[in-house]
């Protein structure tokens, strides 16, 4: 059942009497999440029984509903022909393997070259909006230097359906990180409140009070002493969550300039770490050499959710990017050689 700004809309069913008005209406109006519907109410775009009512209004049954959806305004960002690595696509959604180095949203210092600019080029005709602003399909973000799975909506019903799943934590998010050192303990759960750091408002930290609840379950998949490969399952979606939580257990993401101890990982550092792994000590001299990794080694490896329009569970995986694979390759080779020699 869909209501528009038409006086011929059907009346509210009698069985809806009692609940707050936004709850049943949001469920029935295709393409509207509860948050979207609340914005329409807040801007007096919804009338019940011929009057604009307060949020506390209780349905009586039989009322007529009139809804005015403002025409979307153009987004300030410009479309740019930026290639996309597409893992999956249909009429409603597109799942991307985001490369490192690309920003999700335009911001100060990143007005162009973002994922939004790319989506506007590829899907401009279907990226309409609710509440008067065109939204280029973004329902979640990855940090600029984080690679991997990201889903975008091609239309409003898909956008609303995905947003609802992220809000209710139905979405499965699995990250792979190469860390400095290994977590202690090697596997476990990090739970607590995350909020902005008082020392640097651009960063986040674990707080004793305030902030928002966060939960990550992590498992060390490969342990090479100086570095490790760690899987993180994010049960919540706080800003920088995996990075903050891994630093909290003593193993920040490798080359994380904000929460880690170094910004680059060089050939010399690889050789030194390999010597420590093979011999338990650093034997020799290790000139820096070339940079092997120059961004935080964090990858959104898996994303699973319910299709927002058709139903049914979908699951996607993005292969480990070349720079992270290059870091791990010599350690994996050393591990295999040491195992074979036992």
Find out whether 118 and 136 touch, Cβ atoms under 8 Å. Answer: no
User: What is the phi/psi pair of residue 218, to 5°?
Assistant: -125, 150
143 is catalytic: yes
User: What is the phi/psi pair of residue 15, to 5°?
Assistant: -70, -10
Task: Name the H helices within the chain.
Answer: 22-28, 34-42, 115-123, 156-167, 241-248, 267-279, 322-340
Instruction: Tell me the angle at which helices 322-340 and 267-279 cross, rounded to the nearest 10 degrees.
Output: 20
One of 85, 90, 91, 143 is an active-site residue; which one?
143
Q: What is the DSSP letter of 291?
A: E
As given in the structure block, the two tokens for residue 273 are 């770490």
C-alpha to C-alpha distance for 135 and 101, rounded to whole angstroms = 22
Radius of gyration of the chain (CA): 24
Q: What is the DSSP string of 77-113?
A: SPP------EEEE-SSEEEEEEPTT--SS-BTTBSSS
Catalytic residues: 143
């Amino acid at each position: 059942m869909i209501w528009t700004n038409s006086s011929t809309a059907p009346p509210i069913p009698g069985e809806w009497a009692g609940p707050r008005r936004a709850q049943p209406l949001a469920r029935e109006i295709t393409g509207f999440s509860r948050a979207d519907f609340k914005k329409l109410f807040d801007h007096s775009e919804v009338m019940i029984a011929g009057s604009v009512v307060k949020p506390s209004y209780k349905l009586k049954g039989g009322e007529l509903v009139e809804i005015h959806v403002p025409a979307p305004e153009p987004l300030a960002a410009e479309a740019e022909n930026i290639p996309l690595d597409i893992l999956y696509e249909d009429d409603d959604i597109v799942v991307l393997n985001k490369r490192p180095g690309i920003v999700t949203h335009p911001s100060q210092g990143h007005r162009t070259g973002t994922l939004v600019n790319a989506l506007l080029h590829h899907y401009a005709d279907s990226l309409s909006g609710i509440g008067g602003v065109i939204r280029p399909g973004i329902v979640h973000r990855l940090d600029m230097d984080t690679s991997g799975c990201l889903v975008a909506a091609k239309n409003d019903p898909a956008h609303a359906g995905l947003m609802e799943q992220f809000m209710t934590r139905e979405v499965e998010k699995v990250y792979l990180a190469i860390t400095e050192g290994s977590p202690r303990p090697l596997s476990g759960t990090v739970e607590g409140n995350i909020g902005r750091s008082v020392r640097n408002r651009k960063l986040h930290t674990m707080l004793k009070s305030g902030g928002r609840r966060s939960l990550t379950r992590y498992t060390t998949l490969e342990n090479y002493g100086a570095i490790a490969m760690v899987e993180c399952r994010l049960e919540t979606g706080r800003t920088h969550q995996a990075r903050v939580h891994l630093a909290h257990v003593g193993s920040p993401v490798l080359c994380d300039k904000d929460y880690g101890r170094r910004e680059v990982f060089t050939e010399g550092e690889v050789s030194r770490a390999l010597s420590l792994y093979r011999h338990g000590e650093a034997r020799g001299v290790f000139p820096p050499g070339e940079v092997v990794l120059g961004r935080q080694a964090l990858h959104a490896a898996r994303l699973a959710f319910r299709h927002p329009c058709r139903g049914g569970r979908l699951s996607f995986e993005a292969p480990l990017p070349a720079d992270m694979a290059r870091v791990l390759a010599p350690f994996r080779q050393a591990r295999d050689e040491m195992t074979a020699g036992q």
